[in-house]
Copies of this chain bind each other. A is one copy, B any other.
Amino acid sequence: MNRITDIKIALVQMSMSTNKEENIKSALSKVENACSNGANVVCLPELFASQYFCQTEDVQNFNLAESYNSNFIDSFSLLAKKCKTVVIIPFFEKRASGIYHNSAVVIDSDGKISGLYRKMHIPDDPGYYEKFYFTPGDLGYKSFNTSVGQLGVLICWDQWFPEAARLVSLSGANIIFYPTAIGWHPDEKEEYGENQLDSWKTVQRSHAISNGLYVASVNRVGFEENDNGSGIEFWGNSFICGPQGSVIYEASRTKEEIIYADIDLDLLENTRRNWPFLRDRRIDSYTDLDKRFVDKKPK
């Protein structure tokens, strides 16, 4: 692996139509655009090939899934190779009949697949019925070796769990990418909206701080209607923050846009020297983290 000093990353904030082919075409075009602007790594939002179908529980939606080796992935591999760029492709993975995952594949700049991540933490909240669709990931937390160094990928709900960020960090990642699909319920936005968005940003910035790495979170935008005449207003606000949690760039809440940031591995090294949290973890004392709750067992 080369010592990389200059990495430019790009996050593609986009909206999705109900037409899968159109979404993929749009994503390919945006990735190519990011590459032509000098990006060495481009990341797309969670499940970008479709609208966020988890707003309802409908078995027909399993038709949207793709296998790990589908043409869908191939088209991005070809583009990655052509542009010499690493591309992170979230997708609805069909692993077998009855086993589906919310996944992301990392394609290296030679078009070869660096690895697959399957979302570990699966939500189930009103409008986010993911437990119906996705089997929880079984590949664990890892960094992927690419031509621009070690990259980690986690997906959406994972972002609320410091354990996940820590484990990706311990596997050697310099950047954690969070492809995401999160937004407001229209009837909650006015009262809780700002606080929800702020909490979402804060918890991800904290992963950058406590692990001394970059965090890059990419969300979709636009209102997607559900069957009940309501829907979700995806809040965009894709952002990239540095290893002390400072936001380098953040996108709007409503517009399609590609945002960029330069990754400075010297800053990362310097931050970890000055804030040596990884040195001081009390690994002898964390056993109970694999417990649900530290209470007395019922008789």
Interface residues of A in 139-186 (CB under 8 A from B): 140-141, 157, 160-164, 166-167, 170-172
**Within residues 76 to 117 of chain A, which ones have a CB less than 8 A from any CB in chain B?**
none
Closest to A200 in B: B209
| Stretch from A7-15, A38-46, A251-259, A275-283 forming part of the interface with B | A275-283
Nearest chain B residue, comparing its CB with the CB of A157:
B280
In the complex, what distance in Å separates the CA atom of A203 from the CA atom of B140? 25
B282 and A121 form a contact (CB under 8 A): yes
Task: Give the docked Cα–Cα distance between A246 and B193 (Å).
Answer: 13
| Neighbour of A290 across the interface among B172, B207, B278, B283, CB < 8 A | B283
B277 touches A161 (CB 8 A): yes
How far apart are the CA atoms of A62 and B162 in the complex, in Å?
A: 37
User: A123 contacts the other chain (Cβ, under 8 Å)?
Assistant: yes
| Contact A295–B172 (Cβ < 8 Å) | yes
Residues of B near A161 (CB, < 8 A) are: 210, 277, 280-282
Contacts of A266 in B (CB 8 A): none
Verify if A125 is at the interface (C-beta below 8 Å from B). yes
A199 cross-chain contacts in B, Cβ below 8 A? 209, 244-245
Show 12 A/B contacts (Cβ-Cβ < 8 Å), sorted by A.
A122-B280, A125-B276, A141-B288, A163-B289, A166-B289, A167-B289, A167-B294, A170-B291, A195-B246, A202-B205, A202-B206, A205-B206
Complex CA–CA separation, A124 to B170 (angstroms)? 21
Contacts of A286 in B (CB 8 A): 163, 167, 289-290
A73-B199 Cα distance, complex, nearest whole Å: 38
Query: How many A residues have CB within 8 A of the partner chain?
Result: 54
Minimal beta-carbon separation of A196 from chain B (angstroms): 8
* A285 is an interface residue with CB less than 8 A from chain B: yes
With a cutoff of 8 Å between Cβ atoms, the chain B residues found around residue A205 in the complex are 202, 206
B292 A283 Cβ-Cβ under 8 A: yes
8 Å CB contact of A162 from B166, B196, B274, B284:
B166
Contact A202 B170 (CB under 8 A): no
Alpha-carbon separation in the docked complex, A234 to B283 (Å): 30
Instruction: Give the complex CA separation of A103 and B95 in angstroms.
Output: 52
Partner of A160, one of B140, B210, B288: B210
- What are the 9 A-B residue pairs with the smallest beta carbon separation, nearest first? A206-B206, A162-B162, A170-B294, A203-B206, A171-B294, A283-B290, A203-B209, A199-B209, A160-B277
